[in-house]
């Protein structure tokens, strides 16, 4: 069953996990085309998702290193674990500990 969600309303909004803890803002939606339709694969939440949104992961990593900042991190939320209530912010149905981590760190450092 397909469902249409006006995602532009939710991009940039804070996302809470199943425990009600803020896990970051929704920054990117990964999709694939299938038979002329776009299917959501997952959602990127947190600072690393913002860098991914603008294809700045490599640049963000270098800037963080130069200024001694922590590298942005975030979460990958599977498509079926995100709720979009009409009257509030998006919510993840899993706990943060159950989600795949997203990092601007090079893979060899993770």
Domain extents for the chain?
A: 9-104
For 9-104, which CATH class?
mainly beta
Distance, CA of 33 to CA of 62 (rounded, Å): 32
Strands of the sheet containing 37-46, edge to edge, are 82-83, 91-92, 14-16, 22-34, 37-46, 73-78, 100-103
- Please state whether the predicted TM-score (pTM) of the whole model is above 0.85: no
Residue-wise pLDDT tens for the chain (110 aa)? 566 777 888 888 999 999 999 998 898 888 899 998 888 898 988 876 555 654 545 555 555 544 444 555 788 899 999 999 877 889 999 999 999 887 644 444 44
Phi/psi at 92 (5° precision): -95, 140
Distance, CA of 80 to CA of 2 (rounded, Å): 12
Rounded to a whole number of angstroms, the CA Rg of the chain reads 15
User: DSSP of 22-41, one letter per residue?
Assistant: EEEEEEEEEEEEETTEEEEE
């Amino acid at each position: 069953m397909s469902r249409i969600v006006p995602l532009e309303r939710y991009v940039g909004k804070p996302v809470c996990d199943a425990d009600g803890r803020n896990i970051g803002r929704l920054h990117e939606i990964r999709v694939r085309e299938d038979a002329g339709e776009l299917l959501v694969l997952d959602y990127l939440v947190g600072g690393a998702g913002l860098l991914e949104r603008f294809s700045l992961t490599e640049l963000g990593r270098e800037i963080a290193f130069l200024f001694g900042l922590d590298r942005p991190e975030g979460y990958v939320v599977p498509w079926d674990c995100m709720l979009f209530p009409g009257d509030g912010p998006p919510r993840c149905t899993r706990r943060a500990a159950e989600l795949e981590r997203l990092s601007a760190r090079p893979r060899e450092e993770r």
